[in-house]
Amino acid sequence: MEENKLIKEFYSLVQVDDYDGHYAKDIKDGSYFGMPLKSIVEAEKRLRSEKNAGIAYFSMEYGLATSCYNQFSSQLASGPSNKVPENAVFSNFRVADYFFALHQNNVIDLPIYSGGLGVLAGDTVKTMADYKLPVAAIGILWSSGYFRQKFWFKYGQAPEKMHWDPYTYPGLVPLKNKIKIFLKNEDVYIKLWKYYVYSHEHDAVVPLILLDSNIDNNSQFAKELTDQLYRSDNVSLKLLQRVVLGFGGVNALEELGYNIDKYHLNEGHAVFAFVAKARGLKNDQMEKLKSNFVYTCHTPVEAGHDKFSFDDLNKVLKKEDVDIIDRFGKERSGLANLTLLSMNISSSINAVSHNHQKVMHIQFPRYKDQVQYVTNGVHPYTWMSQSFQELFEKFPATFPDFRSNPMILSRAHELKTNLDFRAQLWQAHQENKASLSKLLEKWSLDKNLFTICWARRMAAYKRPSLILHDINRLVQIAEKIGPLQIILAGKAHPNDNLGFTYINEMMDKVDKLNEDYNKLKIIVLENYDIALAKMLTSSVDVWLNNPLPPFEASGTSGMKAILNAVLQMSTVDGWMAEVTDKKIGAFFGYKNAEGSVGNEFDLHMNEDSAELYSAMEEMIGLYYKTNQRGKLDVSSGWIDMMIECICTSSQFNTYRMLDQYKQLVWKIA
């Protein structure tokens, strides 16, 4: 009886489209796709309550790790396009490349992300749910996702359109609610979807509202607005994707009756939300509206700051909207700058690391007194491997309640002289490495050989090819010190010609090393995604991070790695600039002059690759003293660094991050 009441209450709050025909089997008996329905009802009520003013969190992308964290179950079969397809591998063991592929038998991650920004947004929303905050997240339902990366052997990356089926994706539901966006020459209709992001304990949720223009009411052009993430081949499409997020997000919140006090713009993509709220307001009212908006900037790279001509704005937006943008977002060049607009309409501006704050002070000196920083973090229960959770459970006196208090991992140093812990720590790492070796067994990956990984977005300033800059030196290191395994992965934006060039260059170099495979294995993975990221960040020995300083705002992949005691090899940039006093690996490379940003295309490849190889020689030597073909030196300094990684991870998580957002940005208890 109570469960029937709960279903009725849910349906009165969340009007699922085609509930009886399609979703009734998965939303019944107090269950929502296998999760507690009660958590949804409580969250929906709270967001509508006049007593609890909520937060709206806007992001163009969300990487939620739905394939490996809080997975929903469904009575209906998921569409075949929602399964991870087989992916190619490019290596210097070409016979294996031709005959084998990677098979991962799992559901794709909800394909509404491209990379680090989206994964950070996903980790943030999951932590908001853990904290039981009254938050509604706003995003876009990308009907073709980002893109599917295919390798052309020796010719690099070939982007393919992605296909997936939102109607059979577990946990994702369409709503009957529709909204309308008013543009200059046409109205765009938006269908609303919801995906509920559950807390770690499943006792709270954050509703993620997803906007979809791919419906019959719209013109073909309007349908394409939510087709593919980060379209940049058409200026109007690029502009209107941001308009859909901002205008559509505000309209969706009003349509659903949510009581929102703070609008958090995760990057400037969503700044049109302010324009939507400012319509019809007088000057003093607009100034007051700023107190409701906060802005997080995520990049110092020029391409990350959207700019549009007012001619382009006038083609698609009404005069009232353009006037607001002109007032708050016009730069000296005469262009509309969405970063400038975001800073001018927000009561709080934050960078995402201390180093990034310094760079923003140089790039935007007028805002020096306003720009604070909150260093990014990662959601520990998404990224901590099962073997490490089990390890910490074996030492409850040191790690009591580590699941709800990740800061307690700082106590790992108390076990530094505990030989049993040191041995079990190594064993937990080797279990992860064995899983990776199993995945890549056709390429003869060996869990007892030194393994280093670079995996992230392929962009010039991230210098993906640095480790391959001098192939002969790598061969010499392998011959002199010991065998070496290198894993590389990442996508270049479809319109990033420089990123394509790097992939081509890397493949060309790898192709020439076929005869050296026994001493130097190089494996390039296709279609890098969150599931692969979770495996790699927990399974390799060293995580390589070599952006050109100071162009990495934060970076988070290394945070995921240290959570699993994976050592770091990094330039001093982003979050890594905050841990140079920690013995968690090795630092190397170019440092930008104090007070200067420099040129993001002056990559210092010769000098930094030489320093990288020297650092690698030392680290590989220590590794083989620690692990002599499976025989462990439990007293090794390598294990000291693994323990220091765990201690350091206690501060680089989204719990610490959200505590700072609550105090410094949202100013809530």
User: Whole-angstrom Cα distance, residue 109 to residue 613?
Assistant: 35
Q: For 161, which DSSP code?
A: -
State residue 440's pLDDT score: 97
Q: Is residue 162, in this structure, part of any structural domain at all?
A: no
Pair 241, 120 in one domain: yes
Pair 407, 489 in one domain: yes
Q: Is residue 31, in this structure, part of any structural domain at all?
A: no
User: Within the chain, how many helices (H) and strands (E) appear?
Assistant: 23, 25
Pair 357, 433 in one domain: no
Pair 412, 395 in one domain: yes
State residue 376's pLDDT score: 99
Q: Is residue 274, in this structure, part of any structural domain at all?
A: yes
Find the domain containing 487 and state its range.
381-652
Q: Is residue 167, in this structure, part of any structural domain at all?
A: no
627-628 vs 520-525, strand pairing mode: unpaired
User: Whole-angstrom Cα distance, residue 196 to residue 136?
Assistant: 10
CA distances from 68 to 6, 164, 568 (A): 28, 18, 24
Pair 325, 457 in one domain: no
Pair 313, 389 in one domain: no
State residue 594's pLDDT score: 87
CA distances from 643 to 105, 453, 563, 650 (A): 33, 20, 10, 12
How far apart are the two ends of the chain, measured CA to CA in Å? 37
Alpha helices, DSSP H, located in 227-379: 235-243, 249-255, 272-278, 283-289, 310-316, 319-329, 338-344, 354-363
Decide: helix, strand or coil at residue 496. coil
How large is the angle between the packed helices 605-626 and 637-649, nearest 10 degrees? 110
Pair 368, 395 in one domain: no
By the 8 A CB rule, do 531 and 119 touch? no
Residues of the chain with pLDDT under 70: 1-3, 153-155
Pair 528, 446 in one domain: yes
Q: Is residue 307, in this structure, part of any structural domain at all?
A: yes
Q: Is residue 42, in this structure, part of any structural domain at all?
A: no
Q: Is residue 74, in this structure, part of any structural domain at all?
A: no
Pair 536, 613 in one domain: yes
Task: Name the phi and psi angles at 422, rounded to 5.
Answer: -60, -45
Helix then strand then coil, % of the chain, to nearest 5: 45, 20, 35
Contacts of 309 by beta carbon, 8 Å cutoff, 6+ apart: 334, 335, 336
Pair 371, 388 in one domain: no
* Length, in residues, of the chain: 669
Q: For 353, which DSSP code?
A: S
Task: Give the domain CATH number at 463.
Answer: 3.40.50.2000
Pair 434, 298 in one domain: no
By the 8 A CB rule, do 564 and 426 touch? no
Give 620-628 contacts, CB < 8 A, sequence gap 24+. Answer: 620/450, 620/477, 620/481, 620/482, 620/484, 621/481, 621/482, 623/450, 623/482, 623/541, 624/450, 624/481, 624/482, 627/448
Name the residue among 306, 294, 403 with its Cα closest to residue 666.
294
Name the residue among 500, 268, 474 with its Cα closest to residue 364.
268
User: Whole-angstrom Cα distance, residue 94 to residue 443?
Assistant: 9
State residue 153's pLDDT score: 64
State residue 629's pLDDT score: 82
Q: Is residue 402, in this structure, part of any structural domain at all?
A: yes
Considering its fold, how many domains does the chain have in total? Answer: 2
Q: Which three-class secondary structure string do you get for 415-435?
A: HCCCHHHHHHHHHHHHHHHHH
Pair 424, 299 in one domain: no
Tokens of 33: 């796709």
User: Whole-angstrom Cα distance, residue 57 to residue 54?
Assistant: 10
Element (H, E) at 280: none
State residue 2's pLDDT score: 65
